Every structure is written in C-alpha cells, then in structure tokens.
C-alpha cells in the first residue's frame, strides 16, 4: 500500500465537512443539555438505515492492518484489521452471531463443528469466497501465526465438505470455540496468500484484500492516520458509514469539543462530565474489561515468596488509587483477576483490603527489619513501567509507609516487552483489556500465551493445580460446572498472586450523536473481550 500524503487529504476533509451542530442525546446514561460547543459533520446515521459520509475517530498508528503486521501491543491494531477481514462468527450486543458462516452444527461429542458458509461472498478484488479459503487460512496460520489471540492449536484439521460447507475437527472440546477461535481468527484469500512465504514483509495492495465492510483507502504511518472506505458489495448488508478516518490528535477531549473528531474514548470520569456538559453522548463499558495490574517476577529471589507479594497487596490502598485516577466510583481489583462486574467473578474469592498492620506483620515474618530510617534492610525493589503512569508514584509512597523502598524504572515499549519476555524485572506495571469476555483468557495469560506484547509471554507460571484446572474449564461444555472450575482458578490466583490487579478500569465512549449514534456495548466485548465500541456490526445494516 503506497504511502499517501494523508494529512493534506484529511485537512481538506475537515475543512469541507465542518459546520455547526446541536447537542447530542446519549444512548446510555447521559445528561441532556442545550449546550453544543462542537463543530461536526454530515448526515446522521439513524436506525432507519440512513447513511453518513464521514466518521472521524481519534486514533494513532497501530501498524499496517494485514493479519500479520498490525501492532499487538494493544487492541486497536486488531480492530483496524477487523474492518477489512472477516471471521466465521462475530459478536454484537446480543452475543455471538453468524458472520461468514450463516449457520453451524456441533457433533454430539463436541469435537466437530460443521459450518454452512454465506453464499455469493466476494473478496475485495472480485474473486469468490469459498470453503477453500477457510481451510487454507487455518492451515496457513499453523505455519505463520496470526498476530493476535485465537488458539489454533485446538484444531486437529479443517475439512472442505463442499464449496459452502466446512468442518472443523478439534483435538478436544473447546468451550470458547465460537467466540474465541473462529470469532477472532480472520479468513484470508487463498489465491493471494498461497504464494506468500514471508507474510510479515508482504505489504502490497493485495495484502489488504478481505471480505470485510471496509477497504483501506489511505494510510500514513508517520502521522498514524487511516482512511477507510465502504465496501459497496458487502455481503452482510448496507454499510451505513461511507468513510471512517482515524485522526491523530494530541488532546482527544479538546478535539471532540472543537469538532475535529466525532468519537473517542476515555477512562477518566472528569472527561465524561466535561463532555456531557458540552452536549456529547456517553456509553460506559460493561463489564469493565480493562485492568491495571502489577506483574510480579515469580523467579525473583525475594518476590518468589508469595508472602512478600501478599504484603505488597495489603500495603496498597487500591481503592484510593482507583478513585483518584479514574474520578469515578472505585473498582478495586479482584485478586482473582476477573472483573468484579463480570458474570464469571467469584464473589467468595480471597481479597486483600488495605491493611498496613497486616503488611508489616508479613514483612517482619520474612525477616525484613526496619532500620533507623524506617526502611527495611535488604528489600529494595524496582517497578518497571512503559509510560509515566501515576499509579507508580502512588505505589512508591504507599510502600514507603511500610518500609519498602521502591525504585521506579521507566522504559520504552520495546524494552518493556523484551524485559517481560526475558524475566528481567522485579515488578512491572501495565494495563490490559480483554477481561470482559470468555474466562479462557486466564489460561492464556498465565501459560505465557497472551497476544499482548506488554504481557510476559512464552513462560508458564508455576501455579500448582491452576494449569490442570485451566485445561478442564476449556473442555467443559456445562456452564455451571465450568463456573465452578473458573472459581477455583480465581482462588489459586488470589492466593499465589502472580499478578495484583490494582483496579478495574471502566472505559467511556464519548461521541457526537448528531453525527453517528449507533455505538453499543458488545456482549462479552469485541472478539476476545475488548470493551471498546469500534464494532463493525454496528456500522452495517446487518441482514439477519
């Protein structure tokens, strides 16, 4: 894809589309107001199927959006890719829905899923989509891994029955198969990729030929801006938004107020209040789906003892951290990791309320005595961050109160990912999303298979029966029994504390409802639990 002077093109778009607008009406928990300080664009896309010409969303560079080259340091690369490439199933606000597959059957033993594919689906270059593309895609990913989650190792084989029927034979039962495997991994065209031996280096226009509702019209990696145009022949229905521009802005809230963008997100509730007072609409992610957490190096000579990890948990006033940094009702992190507003949350799991007396007791038992300066001799720990996270400074002051000297180390994203992968850190502070979907994410996170480059990857943590339980829940198709297993996994995580969730972080969508008001929460989060709103299902009049 050739590089285009996107900034100039986008500037022209902004000039041509700028005009005055009135106040928006929220679809969820908003304040009606007559104030309207933003300048916006175009014709609103309503439930009656009308279309708009352009939707501008705050964004940044998340890589070239082929299935092998987008950035895996966060969810936005996956979302850009999903506009172009489709999966067999997808999710909307009701849960898993048919997508490239219009229906499916499951064998009695749960080991074979047979999909009937949609008819008359075309690739962006006009070639017909068939079962051959599905078989090819999953075979290709075994050699050239997809750049996100989607555990293809669960698949024994993929069989073409006829041009519009394909059967997946699994190695074992896999409970989240429909949502977290065929609902995540995109289908790629065989006629293009069968001759590509190095997909990471493949950057020709053909690399972005999909079946999705959008094509990439322009991309400028230097400015981090994208322009997508609607696929007028999209098989699921009419695409309501004709062009989507991802615009790089320094201040998202100010850009929204100034009419430079039409939609953004925040996790700061003060921003929500400001935006609502200016007439913008808000949607809160439910469940929260995002966690800010400490990862402990379990091989560290001192942190390898869970009593030290537990002492740190008691020493941190996580309710204060959550309240001060989000400005909203605090959501103290579950020691069992699963968000407290998730249907998979174990309400009886062990927790660590703020208790400096308990923290000091554990530290004394471990033999770390305070010197004359109130500092515990022989206990100086480092906390690594990939940005200047305010949580780190608050943690330093809180741990100082119980005599722990904390050294803050800030590194860039690449160095952070390397250190995590090589276990060259004491503690690391990071944020993750993807906790609002299927709880199989627990298996992936703690077996070193997380897609996010800011998570420790490639290493299975020593957690007793946790990994045996993780395999059991994965294969359990009885939901009540699966809940019991997930509860046990949370109990182990809460006791061992390989990670400590400081707080669960709600995201808030802010948008100009006069431009587009079709945003909704995706049930269980987009794909593997992304609590975001850029779901292509809401940009299309889907023909059920």
Return contacts of 475-478, CB within 8 angstroms, 24+ apart.
475/172, 475/173, 475/174, 475/175, 476/173, 476/175, 477/110, 477/173, 477/175
Number of compact structural domains in the chain: 2
Give whole-number Cα distances, 70 to 76, 226, 536, in Å.
9, 13, 18
Can you tell me whether residue 382 is helix, strand or coil? strand
317 and 199 belong to one structural domain: no
pLDDT in the model for residue 30: 34
Tell me which residue has tokens 């690449």. 414
Same domain, 58 and 125: yes
Asked if 136 and 193 touch (Cβ cutoff 8 Å), the reply is: yes
Residue with tokens 């894809």: 1
269 lies in some domain:
no
* Residues of the chain falling short of pLDDT 50: 1-47, 453, 457-458
* Per-residue model confidence (pLDDT) at position 418: 87
Judgement on whether residues 349 and 418 belong to the same structural domain of the protein: yes
Looking at residue 233, its pLDDT comes to: 95
Q: Residue 481's pLDDT is what?
A: 98
Q: Both 391 and 464 in a single domain?
A: yes
- Which token pair is 355? 């208790």
CATH code (residue 487): 3.10.105.10
Same domain, 68 and 159: yes
Chain mean position to CA 166? 29
Domain contains 428: yes
Domain membership of residue 382 as a residue range? 287-506
- Answer yes or no: do 320 and 387 share one domain: yes
Strand pairing of 89-92 and 95-98?
Answer: antiparallel
Q: Is residue 14 part of a domain?
A: no
Q: Is 476 exposed, middle or buried (0-12, 13-18, 19+ CB in 10 A)?
A: middle
Q: Rounded to whole angstroms, what are the CA distances from 211 to 77, 87, 189, 241, 485?
A: 18, 9, 9, 17, 38
**CATH number for the domain that contains residue 517:** 3.40.190.10
**Do 524 and 482 share a structural domain?**
no
Nearest to 392 by CA among 408, 374, 373: 408
Q: Cα separation of 452 and 165, whole Å?
A: 33
Judge if 253 and 328 occupy the same domain: no
Distance separating alpha carbons of residues 109 and 44, to the nearest angstrom: 49
Residues 469 and 493: their CA atoms lie apart, in Å, by: 12
**Same domain? 76 vs 176:** yes
Q: Is residue 177 part of a domain?
A: yes
**Do both 501 and 532 map to the same domain?**
no
- Is 77 inside any structural domain? yes
d(CA 63, CA 6) in angstroms, rounded, equals 15
In a domain, 217, yes or no: yes
Is residue 518 situated within a structural domain? Answer: yes
Same domain, 220 and 335: no
Q: Where are the beta strands (DSSP E) in 359-422?
A: 380-385, 405-410
pTM: 0.85
> What is the per-residue pLDDT for 400?
97
In a domain, 405, yes or no: yes
Same domain, 342 and 397: yes
Are 226 and 215 contacting, i.e. CB atoms less than 8 angstroms apart?
A: no
Encode pLDDT of 80-108 as tens digits: 999 999 999 999 999 999 999 999 999 99
d(CA 532, CA 208): 23
The residues facing 363 across adjacent strands are none
Q: Which residues pair with 97 in a beta bridge?
A: 90
């Amino acid at each position: 894809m050739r590089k285009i002077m996107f900034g100039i093109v986008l500037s022209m778009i902004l000039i041509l589309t700028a005009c005055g607008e009135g106040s928006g009406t929220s679809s969820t928990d908003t304040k009606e107001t007559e104030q309207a300080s933003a300048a916006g664009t175009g014709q609103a896309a309503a439930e009656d199927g009308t279309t708009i010409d352009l939707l501008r969303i705050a964004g940044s560079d998340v890589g070239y959006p082929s299935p092998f080259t987008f950035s895996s340091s966060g969810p936005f690369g996956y979302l850009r890719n999903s506009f172009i490439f489709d999966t067999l199933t997808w999710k909307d606000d009701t849960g898993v829905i048919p997508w490239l597959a219009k229906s499916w059957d499951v064998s009695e033993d749960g080991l074979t899923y047979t999909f009937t594919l949609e008819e008359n689906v075309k690739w962006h270059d006009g070639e017909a989509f068939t079962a051959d593309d599905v078989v090819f895609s999953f075979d290709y990913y075994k050699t050239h891994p997809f750049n996100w989650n989607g555990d293809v190792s669960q698949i024994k084989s993929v069989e073409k029955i006829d041009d519009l029927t394909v059967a997946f034979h699994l190695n074992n039962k896999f409970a989240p198969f429909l949502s977290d495997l065929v609902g995540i991994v995109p289908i790629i065209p065989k006629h293009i990729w069968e001759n590509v031996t190095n997909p990471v280096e493949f950057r020709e226009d053909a690399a972005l030929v999909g079946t999705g509702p959008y094509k990439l019209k322009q991309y400028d990696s230097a400015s981090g801006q994208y322009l997508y145009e609607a696929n007028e022949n999209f098989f699921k229905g009419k695409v309501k938004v004709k062009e989507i521009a991802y615009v790089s802005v320094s201040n998202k809230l100010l850009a929204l107020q100034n009419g430079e963008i039409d939609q953004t997100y925040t996790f700061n509730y003060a921003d929500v209040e400001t935006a609502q007072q200016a007439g913008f609409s808000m949607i809160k992610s439910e469940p929260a789906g995002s966690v800010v957490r400490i990862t402990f190096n379990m091989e560290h000579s001192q942190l390898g003892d869970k009593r030290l990890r537990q002492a740190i948990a008691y020493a941190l006033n996580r309710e204060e951290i959550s309240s001060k940094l989000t400005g909203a009702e605090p959501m103290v992190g579950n020691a069992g990791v699963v968000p407290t507003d998730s249907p998979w949350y174990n309400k009886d799991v062990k927790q660590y309320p703020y208790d400096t007396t308990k923290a000091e007791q554990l530290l004394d038992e471990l033999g770390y005595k305070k010197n004359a300066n109130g500092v515990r001799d022989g206990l100086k720990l480092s906390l690594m961050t990939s940005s200047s996270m305010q949580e780190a400074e608050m943690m330093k002051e809180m741990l100082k109160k119980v005599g722990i000297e904390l050294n803050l180390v800030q590194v860039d994203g690449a160095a952070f990912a390397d250190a995590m992968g090589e276990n060259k850190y004491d503690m690391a502070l990071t944020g993750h999303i993807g906790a609002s979907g299927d709880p199989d994410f627990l298996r992936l996170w703690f077996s070193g298979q997380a897609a996010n480059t800011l998570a420790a990857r490639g290493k299975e943590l020593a957690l007793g029966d946790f990994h045996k339980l993780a395999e059991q829940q994965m294969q359990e198709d009885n939901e009540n029994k699966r809940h019991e297993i997930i509860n046990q996994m949370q109990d182990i995580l809460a006791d061992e504390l390989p990670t400590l969730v400081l707080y669960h972080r709600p995201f808030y969508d802010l948008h100009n409802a006069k431009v587009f008001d079709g945003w909704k929460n995706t049930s269980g989060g987009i794909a593997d639990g992304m609590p975001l709103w850029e779901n292509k299902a809401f940009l299309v009049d889907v023909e059920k």
